[in-house]
């Protein structure tokens, strides 16, 4: 039920919120960094939050606190673009809220949770550049977490997977609604909470090792963006069209193919992560590290090379 109910709620609620967003003018308009050809309504993230709220409230209501805060911050950013400094302070606050509701490993675990929340919140936001991309990648990651976690965290993972599956009915190419910052912040924070739980007190080492692979695509895309901008001596916070998915499109891929490749990559990595979580502790860490190295090196070489600096 934690999977099915959010799917049905999100599938039914999303088109209603799309109409509301259009009437209110909460839409994403085409621009220099926007590849779509017509205004597309936001507020998809609100539908995802409402859809997963029920199962989370029944399981552990406190888990909803950082999720609601992230959605509220993103909604404010959708309506009126917030200054970067204010946004960062708010993101740290969301991270503190996440650390307070997850059973972390002492002060170091709490600090790491804050860092992970800020990282993944922004990583998913940067990944949300093609129809169905962030929601598809997030669905793959959530399904992986549902397979390796237990208890209330597993309920959150199932609810997130169900809500994203329902949302994808309307967000798949050509998208009729977007997650918006509200949705990408929510999704990034939810994945960060699940990752923090996988690293939390009482979790097996193998689960912690395997969980890293469940968020590999958004982390890799952000790493590529930061390295490209640093090597090209461009402002790190200045947007561009040089993300991994953008470069695939520039090289002749259709947008749907670029989206599919990224989603399938996360599916494969999530499946690998689930397999790693089932290994003995002494094998899980080196296997996970080997997968990261084998995948990361060619990606970084291919997508941060000088040829990719033109954008």
The lowest-confidence range among 27-41, 249-263, 279-293 is 27-41
| pLDDT at 311 (0 to 100) | 46
For the chain, how many structural domains are there in total? 1
% of the chain residues with pLDDT over 90: 72
Residue ranges making up the domain that contains 202: 4-310
CA 105: distance to chain centroid? 23
Tokens representing residue 73 in the block: 């911050």
48 vs 232, more confident: 48
Q: Kindly report the pTM of this predicted structure.
A: 0.93
Place of tokens 């790491």: 112
Alpha helix (H) residue ranges in the chain: 4-24, 44-59, 64-79, 84-101, 106-127, 133-148, 151-171, 180-198, 205-211, 216-231, 244-250, 255-277, 281-303
- Decide if pLDDT at 113 tops 50: yes
């Amino acid at each position: 039920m934690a999977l099915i109910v959010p799917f049905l709620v999100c599938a039914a609620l999303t088109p209603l919120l799309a109409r509301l967003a259009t009437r209110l003018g909460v839409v994403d308009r085409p621009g220099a960094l926007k590849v779509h050809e017509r205004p597309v309504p936001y507020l998809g993230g609100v539908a995802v939050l409402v859809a997963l709220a029920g199962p989370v409230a029944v399981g552990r209501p406190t888990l909803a606190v950082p999720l609601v805060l992230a959605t509220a911050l993103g909604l404010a950013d959708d309506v009126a673009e917030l200054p970067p400094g204010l946004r960062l302070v708010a993101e740290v606050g969301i991270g503190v809220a996440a650390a307070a509701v997850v059973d972390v490993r002492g002060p170091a675990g709490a600090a790491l949770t804050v860092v992970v929340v800020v990282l993944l919140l922004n990583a998913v936001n940067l990944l949300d550049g093609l129809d169905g991309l962030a929601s598809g990648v997030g669905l793959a990651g959530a399904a992986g977490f549902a397979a390796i976690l237990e208890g209330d965290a597993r309920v959150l993972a199932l609810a997130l997977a169900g809500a994203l599956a329902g949302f994808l009915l309307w967000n798949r190419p050509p998208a009729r609604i977007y997650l918006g910052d509200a949705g990408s912040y929510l999704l990034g924070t939810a994945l960060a909470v699940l990752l923090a739980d996988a690293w939390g007190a009482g979790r097996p080492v193998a689960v912690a090792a395997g969980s890293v692979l469940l968020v590999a695509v958004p982390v890799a895309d952000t790493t590529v963006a930061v390295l490209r901008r640093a090597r090209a001596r461009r402002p790190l916070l200045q947007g561009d069209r040089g993300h991994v998915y953008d470069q695939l499109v520039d090289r002749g891929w259709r947008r749907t193919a670029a989206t599919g490749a990224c989603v399938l990559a996360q599916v494969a990595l999530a499946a690998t992560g689930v397999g790693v979580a089932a290994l003995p502790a002494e094998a899980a860490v080196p296997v996970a590290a080997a997968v990261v190295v084998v995948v990361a090196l060619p990606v970084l070489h291919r997508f941060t090379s000088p040829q990719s600096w033109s954008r």
